[in-house]
């Protein structure tokens, strides 16, 4: 196999499935309510909500979550902007809602900002692009283990050679999914010399100056309390942090924190 064929590059094509109902308007609070109902359905049926979930239960939940995220992203309501903030040094994580079953986060990226390669513990991870374009790179251990085992992460003091297996460029309306049984990954905002004006957003801190920023909406189930991220060639335990915390179902005022999350 040639070197350039060692991984797959994909570009999702945005389309709206006929069965997706785009309400007018499609608000973030309504999305949160619908997601809460979807997870509640599976919980009341006795499903264990993690990456080892029963396949039938997971398919039902996954179809619903993907439809809801795609519908919200393509509706273009833009009410997520009231929670958005960007930073020159790091992408920012804004917690919008946390329940026992799942959590919703808004991640704000400047061009070139990328997360570390990281795991997701036992959780499902969905993400939808709300603005701009982001690139997901998936990895597996060089030794060829399927997914991400705790044993492989702890081997040799956490050191691990990684092989990129897939690169996916995601635009507005695209929805991605991953868990540790599939791969580990990194996500980042693609630098662009010629940003698409239709995908530009304006940061309140920039006094109207338009720039090629990106925003993604993430769903983790169950909420991630600890994970592992690649740091200086080794996978280190990390506790996810947030730049701001909100509760979009009750409309509480945001609580901004001075520290920038780097997880």
Contacts of 123 (CB under 8 A, 6+ apart): 50, 51, 179, 220, 221, 222, 223, 224
Q: Phi, psi at residue 139, to the nearest 5°?
A: -135, 155
Do residues 134 and 218 touch, judged by C-beta distance below 8 A? no
CA distance linking residue 80 with residue 75, whole number of Å: 12
Question: Please, which residues bridge with residue 221 across strands?
Answer: 124
> 251: part of which helix (H) or strand (E)?
none
Residue 120 annotated in ligand binding:
yes
Residue 222, preceding peptide bond in cis (omega within 30° of 0): yes
Q: Which residues of 249-263 are buried (b: 16+ CB within 10 A; e: fewer)?
A: eeeeebeeeeeebbb
Q: Strands across the sheet with 184-189, in order? A: 8-11, 162-171, 133-141, 184-189
Residue 173 DSSP one-character state: T
Judge whether 19 is annotated as a binding position.
Answer: no
Q: What is the CB neighbour count within 10 angstroms for residue 46?
A: 8
- Per the annotation, binding residues for Fe cation are 118, 120, 185
Binding-site annotation, residues: 118, 120, 185
């Amino acid at each position: 196999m040639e070197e350039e064929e060692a991984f797959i590059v994909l570009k999702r094509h945005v389309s709206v499935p006929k069965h997706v109902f785009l309400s007018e308007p499609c608000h973030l609070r309504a999305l949160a309510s619908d997601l809460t109902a979807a997870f509640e359905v599976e919980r009341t049926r006795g499903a264990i909500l993690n990456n080892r979930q029963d396949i039938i239960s997971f398919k039902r939940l996954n179809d619903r979550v993907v439809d809801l995220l795609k519908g919200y992203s393509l509706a273009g309501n833009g009410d997520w902007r009231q929670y958005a903030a960007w930073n020159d040094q790091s992408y920012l994580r804004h917690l919008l809602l946390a329940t026992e079953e799942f959590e919703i986060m808004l991640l704000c990226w400047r061009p070139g900002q990328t997360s570390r390669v990281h795991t997701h513990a036992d959780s499902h991870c969905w993400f939808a692009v709300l603005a701009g374009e982001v690139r997901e790179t998936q990895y597996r251990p060089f030794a060829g283990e399927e997914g991400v085992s705790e044993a492989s992460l702890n081997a040799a003091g956490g050191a691990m050679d990684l092989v990129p297996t897939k690169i996916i460029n995601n635009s507005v309306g695209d929805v991605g999914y991953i868990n540790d049984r599939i791969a580990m990954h990194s996500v980042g905002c693609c630098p662009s010399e010629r940003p698409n004006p239709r995908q530009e957003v304006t940061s309140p801190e920039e006094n109207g100056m338009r720039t090629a920023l990106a925003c993604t909406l993430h769903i983790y189930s169950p909420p991630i309390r600890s994970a592992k991220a690649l740091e200086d060639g080794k996978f280190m335990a990390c506790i996810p942090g947030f730049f701001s915390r909100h509760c979009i179902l009750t409309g509480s005022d945001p609580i901004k924190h001075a520290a920038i999350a780097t997880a």
